[in-house]
Chain A
Amino acid sequence: MVQGSFELSNNSSIEIKGKSFDLNSFKGLNDILQKLTHENKTKNISVIGNFNTELQLNSIFSKANEIDEALSLLQHITRTIEKSSIKFISHVNGVVRGPALELVLSCNYIKADIDTFLDFTYTSEGIIPFFGSIQRIIKMLDYKKTLQILLTNEKLKFEEANSLKIINNEISKNIDKKKPFWDQDFTNTFIYFNSKIHSTYKNKKPAYNAILSIIFESSICEYNVGMSIEKRWAKWLILKSLIKK
């Protein structure tokens, strides 16, 4: 598996290289982002390269006492991108998955080729995104669509992602906007998904439980609070897998 890294070229683009990313890869990305934001010279940054990526979970979360630090770093990276005055534009094609998908979702714009599909592998791989993507998605879409995408391991093809305005659109502008909640539809949706997940997986796949809980608990919350809730559940899931080992 090719070790993943991020490289800055001419202060104009960040290239995603390799496939498999460990904590050092993200520390490197964080250094690049800190440099860019502190210099305050660059107006636009393109994110290019390989978007079909994965996390080296074992190396990132090997010790329980280091989980908080690692999770904070990963969320800090995407928050830095979102808060920066620099416009981050990702140019994606083909399969977009793993940490690259998380980064892409935090960019201001996603320019996508027609062969693009976004692969939300959280439940199939038994992990949830540690970067705050659930918050981004739920703030962009409604909870129903979010649950459908995240819990069914749905691959979002270009046409649908485009119609949902996830790609080819400015996505971070309304990130703090609250979605409607606790109408009859909200209740029915959660009854449906709770029963579906419970009857199918019971406690066998805790990632489902974590995703449902994140969306339920953060539906009424602002983005930053939702990020924190997401982090708590991410930690819960990681601790569960560490105990299992």
Chain B
Amino acid sequence: MTEAYIYDAIRTPRGKGKNTGSLHQITPIKLASKTLKKLKERNNLDTKLIDDVVLGCVHPVNEQGSDIARVAVLDADYDQSVPGTQIDRFCASGLEACNIAAAQVMSGQSDLTIGGGVESMSRVPMGSAGGAWMTDPSVAFKTYFVPQGISADLLASKYNYSRDDVDLYAVNSQKKANEAWEKKYFKNSIISIYDQNGDLMLNHDELIRKETTMQSLASLEPSFSKIGKHSGLDEIALMKYPENNNINHVHHAGNSSGIVDGAAAVLIGNKEIGKKLNLKPRAKIKAFSSIGTEPTIMLTGPEHASEKVFKRAKMNQKDIDLFEVNEAFAAVVLRYLEALDISEDKVNVNGGSIAMGHPLGATGSMLLGTLLDELERRDLNTGLITLCVGAGMGTATIIERV
């Protein structure tokens, strides 16, 4: 099998995903095309050589609809021969896009590809794409559908994570992200976003709250308590998990991933194309996998996807130097640490989505770039990226520096 190498990884800063956010005034197509343009510029790419652009996007409707990847290619002034495709693996879309881009190279069907993602949550809000799982009673009843927030609280209840446990995790995420920014750990990957006049719109992740403390988080009301109790959602979760006596609602805006806008792109190719273009490989994509798990608790996919990818790569967690586990909710990471018996100092060492936000379709590819930067900074070798995914899925990818 051909090896797939990562030659570069870049991302936009994450702007607050509301109408006061710094990236709200830019359309998602521009977020994506600016990222592609930058990737072309800094690698001096002859875009005719790119075989495909795969972008994750979770709400591919309205401004994000109609194959945003191909339109971004055209808007970025890539050669017209470059195709583009948009994919949706919910929250892991950005990582899955990189996996698919790598798979094209590994299978020998492509030489050079781009994986990445985009999501403007301020302009195309969560839920815009609709879907049968949430709304069609014939499916929702059968699968014991509950929204992700209820699943996160169910997860915390099942594994006895208290409000203090999840809040402490969130405080640390904020601290680590703030420190990483202060020490410029993200500088290699971040691209500043400018408007049509060349005026700066955003050059940093604007969601981070460095002043976050246990006390400040304690004042926040649980986000899913009312909806859980009054809409019968707690009852549905407990029907599926009768061994739990109740749902302890511990998650709130401060210990869940933030709603943000952003995009990312990762340049992937085989060895020969790297030589031809004089590009230095930074890492190779060693293995990846996705998996489906029980959809009501929904968020335990990362541990199972990791086990699956370890098996495929003939590795185990001890072989991994650093992990990026998407902080969809604090309990997701706590459960991952516990299930795989991993030390916290190897996981999300520069904070995560609780502090910096989770631009749904882009996050996976952002995490890949963050992990690669950190492996290089620490001169470590192997890393794993994993995300929990809607409807009970999980995706994991192992990368290895070369």
When A182-B62, A232-B25 are in contact, do A221 and B19 touch as well, CB less than 8 Å? Answer: yes
Distance from B220 Cβ to chain A, minimum over Cβ atoms (Å): 25
When A182-B62, A221-B19, A222-B19 are in contact, do A228 and B25 touch as well, CB less than 8 Å? Answer: yes
**Does B11 make an interface contact (CB < 8 A)?**
no
**Does B196 make an interface contact (CB < 8 A)?**
yes
Residue of B25, B62, B63, B197 touching A229 (CB-CB under 8 A): B25
Kindly supply a per-residue 1/0 record for chain A positions 205-245, scoring 1 wherever the CB is within 8 Å of any chain B CB and 0 otherwise.
00000000000010011101100110011011001000000
Complex: how many Å from CA A217 to CA B31? 13
Sort A-B residue pairs by CB-CB distance and give the 10 closest, nearest first: A182-B62, A222-B19, A236-B196, A225-B19, A235-B197, A229-B25, A232-B195, A236-B197, A228-B25, A220-B123
Complex: how many Å from CA A239 to CA B61? 33
Interface contact B195-A221, CB-CB below 8 Å: no
Residue of A217, A228, A239 touching B197 (CB-CB under 8 A): A239
Interface contact B19-A232, CB-CB below 8 Å: no
Complex: how many Å from CA A222 to CA B25? 11
**Does B24 make an interface contact (CB < 8 A)?**
yes
Sorting the interface of chain B by its residue count into under 10, 10 to 19, 20 to 34 or 35 or more gives 10 to 19
Interface contact A232-B24, CB-CB below 8 Å: no
Interface contact B197-A232, CB-CB below 8 Å: yes
Kindly supply a per-residue 1/0 record for chain B positions 58-101, scoring 1 wherever the CB is within 8 Å of any chain A CB and 0 otherwise.
00011100000000000000000000000000000000000000
Interface contact B25-A217, CB-CB below 8 Å: yes
**Does B213 make an interface contact (CB < 8 A)?**
no
9 A-B contacts, Cβ less than 8 Å apart? A182-B61, A217-B27, A220-B62, A220-B63, A221-B19, A222-B19, A225-B25, A232-B197, A233-B196
B195, B197, B199, most chain A CB atoms within 10 A? B197
Distance from A183 Cβ to chain B, minimum over Cβ atoms (Å): 10
Q: B residues within 8 A CB of A233?
A: 196
Complex: how many Å from CA A235 to CA B25? 15
Q: A220-B63, A225-B25 are in contact. List 16 more A-B contacts (CB 8 A).
A: A181-B62, A182-B62, A217-B25, A220-B123, A221-B19, A221-B24, A222-B19, A224-B19, A225-B24, A229-B25, A232-B25, A232-B195, A232-B196, A232-B197, A232-B199, A236-B197
Q: A residues within 8 A CB of B24?
A: 221, 225
Contacting residues of chain A (42-81) with chain B, CB-CB under 8 angstroms: none
Q: Majority SS of interface residues in chain B?
A: loop
Complex: how many Å from CA A239 to CA B197? 8
Complex: how many Å from CA A236 to CA B196? 7
Output the nearest chain B residue to A238 by Cβ-Cβ distance: B197
Distance from A237 Cβ to chain B, minimum over Cβ atoms (Å): 10
Distance from A212 Cβ to chain B, minimum over Cβ atoms (Å): 13
Q: B residues within 8 A CB of A220?
A: 62-63, 123
Complex: how many Å from CA A224 to CA B25? 11
Output the nearest chain B residue to A181 by Cβ-Cβ distance: B62
Distance from A130 Cβ to chain B, minimum over Cβ atoms (Å): 14
Contacting residues of chain B (186-222) with chain A, CB-CB under 8 angstroms: 195-197, 199
Complex: how many Å from CA A228 to CA B123? 15
Q: B residues within 8 A CB of A181?
A: 62
Q: A residues within 8 A CB of B61?
A: 182
Complex: how many Å from CA A222 to CA B195? 19
Contacting residues of chain A (149-184) with chain B, CB-CB under 8 angstroms: 181-182
Contacting residues of chain B (32-63) with chain A, CB-CB under 8 angstroms: 61-63
Complex: how many Å from CA A225 to CA B62? 19
Q: A residues within 8 A CB of B196?
A: 232-233, 236
Output the nearest chain B residue to A67 by Cβ-Cβ distance: B197
Complex: how many Å from CA A236 to CA B199? 10
Distance from A139 Cβ to chain B, minimum over Cβ atoms (Å): 14
Q: A residues within 8 A CB of B19?
A: 221-222, 224-225
Complex: how many Å from CA A61 to CA B197? 15
Distance from B113 Cβ to chain A, minimum over Cβ atoms (Å): 30
Output the nearest chain A residue to B201 by Cβ-Cβ distance: A232
Complex: how many Å from CA A233 to CA B26? 12
Output the nearest chain A residue to B30 by Cβ-Cβ distance: A217
Distance from B202 Cβ to chain A, minimum over Cβ atoms (Å): 14
Distance from A71 Cβ to chain B, minimum over Cβ atoms (Å): 11
Output the nearest chain B residue to A182 by Cβ-Cβ distance: B62
Complex: how many Å from CA A18 to CA B56? 57
Contacting residues of chain A (76-134) with chain B, CB-CB under 8 angstroms: none
Contacting residues of chain B (92-145) with chain A, CB-CB under 8 angstroms: 123
Output the nearest chain A residue to B195 by Cβ-Cβ distance: A232
Distance from B74 Cβ to chain A, minimum over Cβ atoms (Å): 14
Q: B residues within 8 A CB of A225?
A: 19, 24-25
Output the nearest chain A residue to B198 by Cβ-Cβ distance: A239
Distance from A235 Cβ to chain B, minimum over Cβ atoms (Å): 5
Distance from A238 Cβ to chain B, minimum over Cβ atoms (Å): 9
